[in-house]
Amino acid sequence: MPTRSTSPARLSPANDATRPDLLERCRAFTAPGELRAAGLYPYCRPAQSGPEPISTVEARPVVMFGANNYLGLATDPRVVRAAAEALVEYGVGTTGSRILNGTLDVHLRLEAALARFQGRDGAVAFSVGYLANLGAISALCGPGDLVLLDRLAHASQVDGCRLAGVRVQRFRHNDVAHLERLLRAAPGRPTLVAVDGVYSMDGDLAPLPDLVEVCRRHGARLLVDDAHGLGVFGATGRGVAEHFGVEREIDVLIGTFSKSLGTVGGFMVADAAVVEYVRHLARPFIFTASLPAPLAAATLAALRIIEEEPERRARLWRNTGRLQAGLRAAGFDIGGTVSPIVPIRIGDQARTFAMWQHLSRQGVYVSPILPPAVPAGRCILRTALMASHTPEQIDRLVAALQEADGEA
């Protein structure tokens, strides 16, 4: 009996010799193997624990400064218990999309809680945060519309525009004057301006009051992806819009569950009509299996903790201040960060790798950020703080960076 080959098909002389092999580019992609051979491969390192201040990575204990678990909720016993109870009650998955059989009562409770927390009319939850931007932008925009993106906008916003088939223009990072010139140059077109609340590599904030003003002056709508702001900024943790006092001026707010909330998923909040429209027209919502119940229940539990325990946010900001002050005193360039995302600007790629290797040997986990995530010659070591870090762990990071800087 013939058996099916499990190896990729290769072109034979009988094939069309004029047609290049699509998969040849894969075999020519040797950079990851070269980095592994040199002991410099920094990606996909297997962990044997959750993202806690002391984590186990590649079977070694490390001080974790590479996770976005800002409030320490990813392993909080109450969050874990909520997921376990939902796992028993609902099972591991829904086997369908929200539109068909995949809507559970826990999804509706989560969306209601998100809308109430953000003080908006409605919310819609997505299976992962990436899909929230992809779904919202592609549903709200289409050919003939214009989207103006900050130069450093998240890739999910860029990809949402691609799915929408919409015309895109980029404005210089946080340059409101440049944005206004682009708006003036395109009158009479439905326009969306899309920015991040907190920029995930540099840790700086979008100037939301100025963006709101220029958008209103020119009749554009404003979308803010506050993935790294939720739970961190604002008097009650509602994010960067609360921090600036412009919550009701944001037309569409995107968030994720995978940072401060410690789980997986994403959401959009907006006026009820906008939520209803996106719920029924967003392809990533319609054609993706829904968020598993354990994740929805865990997210609900984490959201309650954010509301009930503001002291977590206070600890996070104390830790942030300690690390930023320590790094600046040690002479490191951390740019204009005003958040728990603290980048150490190294510049040269070889030096960045050397410092990362030293830190790794010392049991300190940070993330080397290289092109294309940053421009060539502007490599960084990205660190992120948790409320659960101790002062001693933060001081250890500063000392290890000083040692690495001296050896690189």
Pairing of strands 252-256, 364-365: unpaired
**What's the helix, strand, coil split of the chain in %, to 5?**
40, 15, 40
How remote is the C-alpha of 46 from its chain's centroid?
A: 20
CA angle, 84 then 86 then 91, to 5°: 100
Pull the structure tokens for residue 380: 């960084």
228 counts as catalytic: yes
259 counts as catalytic: yes
Which residue out of 259, 260, 290, 367 is catalytically annotated? 259
Which residue out of 55, 138, 154, 228 is catalytically annotated? 228
Among residues 35, 8, 34, 32, the alpha carbon closest in space to that of 22 is found at 8
The dihedral through the CA atoms of 270, 203, 129, 114 has a sign that is: negative
CA–CA separation, 170 and 172 (whole Å): 7
CA–CA separation, 230 and 225 (whole Å): 10
CA–CA separation, 169 and 164 (whole Å): 14
178 counts as catalytic: no
CA atoms within 13 A on the CB side of 62: 27
Would you call 252 helix, strand, or coil by DSSP? Answer: strand
Complete edge-to-edge strand list for the sheet that includes strand 379-384: 341-347, 379-384, 367-369
Residues β-bridged to residue 47:
57
Residues β-bridged to residue 126:
266
CA–CA separation, 158 and 250 (whole Å): 19
Which residue out of 127, 138, 200, 258 is catalytically annotated? 200
Among residues 141, 127, 144, 138, the alpha carbon closest in space to that of 160 is found at 138
Q: Based on the number of CB atoms within 10 Å of its own CB, is 272 exposed (0-12), middle (13-18) or buried (19 or more)?
A: exposed
| Residues with catalytic roles | 200, 228, 259
